[in-house]
Amino acid sequence: MNEILQSVDPAHGNVVGEVAMIAVEAIPSVVARSRAAQITWGAMTPVARANIIKSAIPKLQAHAIEIGTLISREMGKPLTEAIGEAEGCSATLAREIDNIVAGLEPEIVNDDKVHSEMRFDALGVAACITPWNFPVWMPQDVVIPSLVAGNTVILKPSEKTPLCADAWAKHLIAVLPTDVLQVMHGDERHGKALVNADVNLIAFVGSRSAGKHIMREAAGELKRLVLELGGKDSLIVLEDADIQAAVQYATQSCFRNAGQVCVSTERIFVHKKVADAFESQLAKSAAMLVQGDPKNPDTQIGPMVDAEQKAHVLGLLKDALKDGAKQVAGATSESDTPGNYVRPTVLVGVNPSMRIMQQETFGPIACVTRVDSDAQAIALSNASPYGLGGAVFGEIKHAEIVARALDSGMVGVNKSCTGAHGTPWIGAKQSGFGYYRGKAGHRQFTQTRVVSREK
């Protein structure tokens, strides 16, 4: 008899629903069905595959409020943001799927003697293992390009948000041929078994430690990998920065989704000449945020996803305060943060050697460190194994020079790190191996093959 996985509302403690976990020993048969389905699916053109997927878009759009409401209930995201995630996914899918197709078109390369075609073909079976913080965005980012490329997909969503994945995937499964997309529920045991199964590609979004495990396990057969492994993003506030704009950005970046975002700003390096103004304004801005029931339309910050995540965040906070950091915004007592809530918190006087500056916090804690120079800010920002995103605020040419010196895959100048449509979502150092989005990202889900002939 299969084990049952319960989904619990982090704001109220209620059981939202439950799903059956697959038996670990049954995973090879799931993969075998996926491999059998891939023969016909992979023989189709990218255009034909995309057209099938497009037929699910009206249903995804029609059910966006329902899916968004489920996101809010399962992981505690404020309802408006959760519905925005679901609506944004369906809108993005409608806009971008043709760009995925275009990115997979053959490229012609000629010289005087040889005509070559670079083709972007299916790898086979893709295992997509996705997290709970964006339980629809993350599956869409890895499942759709996998499918358009001609792979069949086994999606293992986080055990903390299984219902969201089901609600999203069922509309795709309804239009796809049998076994082209399968959803597999389970915990860490099931994820490890899927990684070790007969799959060709593993697309994973999650922790650095889990990514390292996947990379070790995949090495035996040199399975292809697309890994997005979190971050410890920095914000550098230069002495010529617009302080109000920097504070506005920091407030959004540090506390959105209760800090449970891979590109949340977790480290802030501010020039000492403007530090007083920045720190006081950020503390006031954090204190004004409305935290509460995700269903309340006024709520801006919901709870942590569960008690385990809250304990992790509060453990880092406690250590930082013990080691000399000063709290200028946040809870004043345990009664201020009942249940799974953590108040948006601002720490100043943070030493870069503190544990909270080394480990991924994934919670609503803004850590501010004063610096004497650009060089010091750059060195401290780069003194991390992570390198996903970052931001620099200052006079634009000055800020661009600093931005180019950061060891991050994505850097924003006077804005977030998010790039223009068509740019990849890409990490540096231990924040990623492979990447997704954009033409280059879509091709990560394929086997590049060069076919050549003499002219």
State how far the Cα of 403 lies from the Cα of 413, in Å rounded to an integer.
7
Q: Are 60 and 168 in contact (CB under 8 A)?
A: yes
State how far the Cα of 190 lies from the Cα of 196, in Å rounded to an integer.
10
State how far the Cα of 82 lies from the Cα of 300, in Å rounded to an integer.
11
Q: What is the CA radius of gyration of the chain?
A: 23
Q: Which of 372, 433, 362, 374 is nearest to 402 (CA)?
A: 374
Catalytic residue among 85, 96, 228, 266: 228
Contacts of residue 379, defined as CB under 8 A and 6 or more positions apart, other chains included, come to none
State how far the Cα of 187 lies from the Cα of 260, in Å rounded to an integer.
20
Assign residue 414 a region: left if phi > 0, alpha if psi is -120 to 50, beta otherwise?
Answer: left
Helix 243-255 and helix 275-288: axis angle, to 10°?
50
Catalytic residue among 89, 262, 367, 417: 262
State how far the Cα of 412 lies from the Cα of 331, in Å rounded to an integer.
31
Query: Within 10 Å of residue 401's Cβ, how many Cβ atoms?
Result: 15
- Helix ranges (H only) for 275-411 are 275-288, 307-322, 355-358, 374-382, 396-404
Query: Within 10 Å of residue 18's Cβ, how many Cβ atoms?
Result: 14
Helix (H/G/I), strand (E/B), else coil: 50: helix
Per-residue buried b or exposed e for 71-94, using 16+ beta carbons within 10 Å of the residue's own CB: bbbbbbbbbbbbbebbbbbbebbe
| DSSP structural state of residue 340 | T
262 is a catalytic site residue: yes
State how far the Cα of 7 lies from the Cα of 10, in Å rounded to an integer.
9
State how far the Cα of 237 lies from the Cα of 267, in Å rounded to an integer.
11
Phi, psi of 318 (to 5 degrees): -60, -45
Residues with catalytic roles: 228, 262
